[in-house]
Amino acid sequence: MLLNLSTTYLFVVYPFLQSRVLCDTVLPFLLYLSSLLFFTFHNPFSSPFSLMTPRMQQDIPSYVLILFFLLIPTSLVSPLYDGPLYDFTAYTECKEKPEEPLYGGGVLKSEQQSPPAVQDNIVSSYVVNNIYVPSLVLHNLTQGTLYTFSAWVRVKGSSSAMIRATLETEKETYDCIGTVSAKLGCWSFLKGGFVLNWSSNLSIIFFQNADGKDINIEVASPSLQPFSKQQWEINQQYMINTKRKRAVTIHVSDNNGRRLQGASICIEQISKEFLFGSAIAHTILGNVPYQNWFVKRFNAAVFENELKWYATEPDEGKVNYTISDQMLQFVRTKNIVARGHNIFWEDPKYNPPWVLNLTGPQLQSAVNSRIQSLMSQYRNEFIHWDVSNEMLHFDFYEQRLGSDATLHFFETAHESDPLSTLFMNDFNVVETCSDVNSTVDAYISRIRELRRNGIFMDGIGLEGHFTIPNPPLIRAILDKLATLGLPIWLTEVDISKTIDTDSQGDYLEQVLREGFSHPSVNGIMLWTAYHPNGCYQMCLTDKNFKNLAAGDVVDKLLQEWKTGRVEGVTDVHGSYSFHGFLGEYTVTVNYGNRTTHSTFSLSRGQETEHFTITLSSNS
């Protein structure tokens, strides 16, 4: 039977799929058929349509079937999927020479491939505000295609400069498709991307100093690689399958170690390793419908405002943790982990009014009291602390307490709560590259500064307040941040209220899929705390806790990113295999009149995880 299926695939299906047009429609069907055959092999009585022969279960063990069906998708990705595989490569160190272009240059392939050409024949000049800048002329860009863009950049006439890549088409200008902090005497890597709203016959990418000043800019190894929407989704799914899931083999044996063929197995996922949650507000207290809706979906929470200094000490010396204590008690009882947001906020608008008038020594005393009070109240309660919120944009405390104020905050927070991961947290890092205060290189530079000074800053917080997401840019920025080897969290994701609710759902799905499919993202938090008069930017439900479009997206993805109920029978080797999302599982095994229950945990890893379950004679 297995030979017949393989022969059919090689001589009938495979040649048929060499047509690229047919691949787009037949590929999903084949993947579905593969799944159908797989479960039919493992559970011959679950469907009236059974491809099992009477002796197949004895002749073909489960691991052979698993290999067969794993090889089908592999072959589909290789000879049948002839599209590009996304390149996660990124560099944050300045190099003496530029590297080769990603994707061999993509649609910008140059005849001069080795060594990388500097100012080669695809780079020309363009005039912006009476300044000549390097540019790339592009032809026939298509609407809806996702373009990943990269280049190496060097400057002359200045020690460093923030260089921005801008795209101009016949109809519109995309102010920023990527940035890099370029330096004198070495090459820096710019990575970004864009999606066009309209097709363009003639477009120009040009590089300019972000502050508008004239500077000599050199460009090398440019690359522009297009992905269709389907190709992008295939790449996302590949990363999810390899980084968010793992192969498992369960072995069933008796007290003597003898493997048991024909044991019935039922597996259910009871929790997820990936943390996905939302902000909550005091409005959840005593609100049973809100609580039920939230707990059914999320395994993580963050308090919207209730831990902030202006909430816990609105008047000097009058500290009150009543509301935050009640919210913490709620998440505790529901086994939901929580992030601590935040200890300090660098924006003066969001500090207690009485703090704004304090002198240096008075402010230092107040700061010390704030840390001591907050951290002693909540030591070991929060998995993260956002220590100095939005420090790329604001510097209220450093202006008043000196340039080492932030270092002091992180040092004291670590000493007070050493088990909590300390985060930077800021906006417009991943949402756009137009904000010169919070470019990806500016974020990386600040992290390195803190670490050089011995600071225990172990988490990267990206707020994620989007208007219209740019998926290639999101991924490029995550790639560069990932080079630091720190956990990345999307901490406050929402879509602007200027967008209609249906489109909010569409855009939210784009952002969530980008985050979940990137191997360096460890968690996602939505900024969707419910208030009767409306949410900050985006609500998941109406006042009756019926889903809006964004809520439907959340439910769809939560279901998609969870292993469904798995049932099967152990093979001749007493084994049963499946592929599941990372997290906690229960497994029930029945053999004759014996039943046993067990649990196991799947964590990230490349190799197959093996678990052995022993059925005792009195189980």
If phi > 0 it is left, if psi is from -120 to 50 it is alpha, else beta; for residue 185 that is: left
pLDDT of residue 7: 33
pLDDT at 25 over 90: no
pLDDT at 14 over 90: no
390 included as an active-site residue: yes
pLDDT at 374 over 70: yes
pLDDT at 20 over 70: no
All domains of the chain in start order, with CATH: 1-82 (no CATH), 102-227 (2.60.120.260), 251-270+565-619 (2.60.40.1120), 275-560 (3.20.20.80)
Three-class secondary structure assignment of 476-506: HHHHHHHCCCCCEEEEEEEECCCCCHHHHHH
| Per-residue buried b or exposed e for 492-516, using 16+ beta carbons within 10 Å of the residue's own CB | bbbbeeebeeeebbebbbbbbbbbb
CB under 8 Å to 4, separation ≥6 — which residues?
A: none
* pTM attached to this predicted model: 0.86
Q: Which of 73-77, 103-107, 190-194 has the lowest mean pLDDT?
A: 73-77
The two three-digit tokens of residue 294, written as one number: 């939230």
pLDDT of residue 57: 38
Which residue among 313, 390, 411, 431 is the active-site one?
A: 390
The helix (H) or strand (E) run that includes residue 225 is: strand 216-227
Kindly tell me the sign of the dihedral angle through the C-alpha atoms of 28, 34, 38, 39.
Answer: positive
492 included as an active-site residue: yes
Which residue among 313, 346, 492, 509 is the active-site one?
A: 492
Q: Which of 74-88, 123-137, 411-425, 484-498 has the lowest mean pLDDT?
A: 74-88
For 337-346, the pLDDT digits (tens) are 999 999 999 9
pLDDT of residue 617: 72
The two three-digit tokens of residue 421, written as one number: 């991961």
For 492-530, the pLDDT digits (tens) are 999 999 999 999 999 999 999 999 999 999 999 999 999
